[in-house]
Chains A and B, each alone.
Chain A
Amino acid sequence: MNIYGIAVLALAYLLGQWMGEFLGSIIGIDANVGGVGFAMMILMLLKEWLVKNSLMSMEMEAGIDFWNKLYIPVVIAMAASLNVKSAVSSGTLAIAAGAIPVVVCLLTFPLIIKKFNPETDGNSHQHH
């Protein structure tokens, strides 16, 4: 049943959000700290456990995969509902402060990869 997969996803999502809010309140900021990240970890753990115990059916996987595939459409909708106009018209400093660090980081990125993960180029492709 597809709904079992969606329910597993919903469980992981809600637990993750809860942990994120909890962590936020511990460190004293009114924000969700890493909720999505926790939820992703929980989903991966649940998936591993379900597969190990042969509880994961094709249909269940399809229920989660449906939402996985909806990701890009959701992002398109998100892009269309951002405050793009004010970002563009809010003056040159907003544009400079938004764009220049990105360019610097794009230039820095290859150096970090080389320095801290020398095996990236050779090994990672084997896992695809």
Chain B
Amino acid sequence: MEILISIIDKNGLIFGFLVIGLITLFSDLFSKKILNSRIPGSAIAIFLGLVLGYLGGFFSGGEKGLADLQLFKGIGFLGGAMFRDFAIVATAMGASFYLVKRAGMLGMISLLLGIFLFFFIGVLLAYIWGYRDAASLCTIGAGACTYIVGPVTGAAVGASSDVIALSIAAGVVKTIVVTIFTPIAAKKIGLHSPESAMAYGGLMGTSSGVAAGLAATDPKLVPYGAVTATFYTGVGCLLCPSFFFLLLSLFFPN
């Protein structure tokens, strides 16, 4: 047993492939045999991943879910930024320039509207919860955009560390909610074409949530959603600590 554990320890990434393979197998069988394929296997697998992430955090007390348990650290590497971005870029193989150009205007409008909506609803909620200073309101609104825009903004406007932690948590909740609700809502909101996927990516932003949700909806849509979503964090980092913060400072002077 000890030998096995030391082998797994030395080959973390390879063990990660095995674990993810088993999760996928289980989810596929569950989807086909029990749910009659009403919910796609990939959506179940991603949800199961989130549950494991919760359990990992529960047992380790760390911040990287399952990857904080020594045995599963290879999963953190497999799901880390490098492989994630590399695989997202590879999805562009199936995309066409013609469609990207055609959805250009729609993509731009949804990008700006998305940041605007997420930020100001986040600010409104923070206000309802009792925050009254521009820095905290701005940071929580930015966290509602993504878990990267939140801390970048918080650091820039000088928010306290618990507010920054709160903004990261809001961003992570957003990613999870988008992941789970995208495949469920897709049909009802007309998310089925490359153009609509580009608008969706711009509106929702969180590239991991959008891409995971679209992957569970229809893998062909992933590159279109990802191409707009990837600009969301950048535009958010640009607008939130500058223009939006100045705007809030007018209403909430210190």
Contact = CB atoms under 8 A, between A and B. Distances in A.
Nearest to A37: B230
A9 B75 contact: no
A53 interface: no
A93 B54 contact: no
Nearest to A106: B185
Contacts of B227: 37, 40-41
B106 interface: yes
B173 A23 contact: no
Q: Interface SS of chain A: helix, strand, loop or mixed?
A: helix
Given A98-B173, A106-B181, A81 B93 contact: no
Contacts of A36: 85, 88-89, 207, 226, 230
Chain B interface, >50% SS class = helix
A67 B202 CA distance: 24
Interface in A68-97: 68, 70-88, 90-97
B248 interface: no
A13 B203 contact: no
Interface string B162-191: 000110111111111111010001000111
Contact of A102 (B46, B181, B207, B219): B181
B14 interface: no
A44 B80 CA distance: 24
A120 B204 contact: no
Given A24-B234, A79-B49, A90-B166, A102 B178 contact: yes
Interface residues on B, range: 35 or more
A84 B57 contact: yes
Interface in B105-133: 105-106, 109-110, 113-114, 117-118, 121-122, 125-126, 129
Contacts of B118: 101, 105
A24 B56 CA distance: 34
Contacts of B158: none
B199 interface: yes
A1 interface: no
Given A37-B230, A43-B89, A109-B203, A80 B170 contact: no
Interface of A: 9-10, 12-13, 16-17, 20, 23-24, 27, 29-37, 39-41, 43-45, 47-48, 61, 64-68, 70-88, 90-106, 108-110, 112-113, 116-117, 120-121, 124-125, 127-128
11 contacts: A36-B226, A37-B228, A40-B91, A71-B222, A77-B75, A79-B49, A81-B79, A83-B168, A90-B165, A109-B199, A124-B195
Given A43-B90, A85-B54, A117-B199, 8 more contacts: A71-B219, A84-B50, A84-B57, A85-B56, A94-B169, A100-B121, A109-B199, A120-B193
